[in-house]
């Protein structure tokens, strides 16, 4: 459906034929049909997972996963090693410029190269496995397994760099914009006017999301252990509590009184109303 919705925007004059859907073939029959016709599909009756995969991640569904109480068996995974396996921890420094990943361990690389490298290194540490029930566009829920070692590592680092470089109100609203953006992508509305407008918001919000984040990679987790930025909003002079403190604590008195004033007035009203 994502392809079809996208094509409708990209080439509205094309007619889409979706024979499996439009002729109502079941999964079993579609597999049989493909085998009969010699179509190169990666699914057999013996390995009945439905798998999508690309650079950004891999998703696996159906088979024994349809029983949502059953833990995934090891044979569903291809991008990630067993998180519990014994191995040495890894550590990586990711660099961003205006929100875009630009270097790994100090080596300038394209975003694609960085994803490839992270898929390998974070995947080797078992990072990026997700097992979740989600809401399909067509209105039903299904359980999906994802593997996205590079994506999860990048997002973890990028989120923390935003914590350092993005102002509070902007960061708070951006969560809503990010959520809506993700809904559009998931819902097949990549070529919608709303995505373009959200992209403009995000591009502006990403200016000065520039710096380095150090991640520890180990045992299934990507963990931020340090971040630095020449455009950080963490002003050491302001943030420290020691003698020489640049933050004027006395201002806080006026702030907190007015900050809490609407709630205080409402509480006084409620009390009076309750008699």
Question: Phi/psi of residue 17, each to 5°?
Answer: -100, 125
SS3 28: helix
Residue 231 in contact with a second copy, rule: CB under 8 A: yes
Chosen residue from 36, 42, 69, 74 binding a second copy by CB under 8 A: 69
Chosen residue from 58, 121, 158, 227 binding a second copy by CB under 8 A: 227
| H or E element that contains 32 | helix 27-37
Chosen residue from 34, 49, 77, 83 binding a second copy by CB under 8 A: 83
Residue 92 in contact with a second copy, rule: CB under 8 A: no
Interacting residues with a second copy between 24 and 53 (CB under 8 A)? 24-29, 50
Number of helices (H) and strands (E) in the chain: give both, helices first.
Answer: 10, 9
Interface with a second copy: number of residues (CB under 8 A): 132
Residue 122 in contact with a second copy, rule: CB under 8 A: no
Residue 169 in contact with a second copy, rule: CB under 8 A: yes
Which pair of tokens denotes residue 167? 């102002």
Nearer to a second copy, 33 or 191 (CB): 191
Provide DSSP, 142-153.
EEEEEE-HHHHH
Residue 139 in contact with a second copy, rule: CB under 8 A: yes
Residue 266 in contact with a second copy, rule: CB under 8 A: yes
Residue 58 in contact with a second copy, rule: CB under 8 A: no
Chosen residue from 104, 160, 209, 217 binding a second copy by CB under 8 A: 160
Nearer to a second copy, 115 or 161 (CB): 161
- Alpha helix stretches (DSSP H) within 125-250: 149-165, 168-186, 193-206, 236-239
End-to-end CA distance of the chain: 59
Q: How far apart are CA 226 and CA 44, in angstroms?
A: 46
Name the β-bridge partners of 239: none
Stretch binding a second copy (CB under 8 A), from 34-42, 101-109, 116-124, 176-184: 176-184
Nearer to a second copy, 89 or 111 (CB): 89
Contact by Cβ (8 Å): 44, 31 = yes
Chosen residue from 36, 142, 146, 153 binding a second copy by CB under 8 A: 142
Sign of CA dihedral 60, 62, 63, 69: positive
Least Å from the CB of residue 63 to a second copy: 10
Q: Which of 35, 134, 129 is nearest to 76 (CA)?
A: 129
On the 0-12 / 13-18 / 19+ scale of CB atoms within 10 A, 140 is exposed
Nearer to a second copy, 54 or 133 (CB): 133
DSSP code, position 56: S
Least Å from the CB of residue 154 to a second copy: 17
Residue 68 in contact with a second copy, rule: CB under 8 A: yes
Which pair of tokens denotes residue 195? 């995505």
Residue 82 in contact with a second copy, rule: CB under 8 A: no
Nearer to a second copy, 12 or 38 (CB): 12
Stretch binding a second copy (CB under 8 A), from 16-24, 33-41, 101-109, 110-118: 16-24
């Amino acid at each position: 459906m994502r392809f079809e919705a996208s094509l409708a925007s990209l080439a509205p004059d094309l007619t889409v034929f979706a024979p499996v859907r439009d002729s109502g073939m079941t999964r079993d029959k579609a597999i049989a049909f493909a085998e009969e016709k010699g179509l190169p599909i990666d699914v057999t009756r013996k390995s009945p997972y439905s798998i999508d995969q690309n650079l950004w991640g891999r998703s696996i569904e159906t088979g024994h996963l349809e029983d949502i109480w059953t833990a995934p068996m090891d044979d569903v995974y291809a991008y990630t090693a067993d998180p519990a396996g014994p191995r040495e921890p890894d550590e990586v420094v990711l660099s961003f410029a205006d929100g875009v990943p630009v270097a790994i361990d100090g080596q300038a690389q394209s975003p694609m190269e960085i994803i490839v490298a992270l898929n390998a290194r974070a995947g080797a540490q078992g990072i990026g496995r997700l097992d979740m029930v989600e809401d399909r566009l067509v209105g039903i829920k299904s359980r999906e397994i994802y593997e996205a070692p590079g994506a999860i590592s990048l997002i973890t680092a990028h989120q923390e760099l935003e914590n350092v470089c993005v102002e509070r109100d902007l960061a708070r609203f951006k969560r809503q914009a990010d959520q809506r953006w993700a809904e559009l992508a998931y819902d097949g509305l990549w070529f919608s006017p709303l995505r373009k407008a959200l992209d403009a918001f995000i591009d502006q919000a990403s200016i000065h999301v520039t710096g380095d984040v150090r991640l520890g990679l180990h045992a299934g987790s990507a963990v931020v252990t340090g971040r630095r930025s020449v455009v950080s909003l963490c002003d050491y002079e302001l943030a420290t509590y020691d003698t020489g403190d640049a933050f004027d604590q006395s201002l806080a008195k006026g702030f907190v009184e007015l900050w809490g004033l609407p709630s205080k007035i409402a509480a006084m009203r409620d009390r009076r109303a309750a008699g």
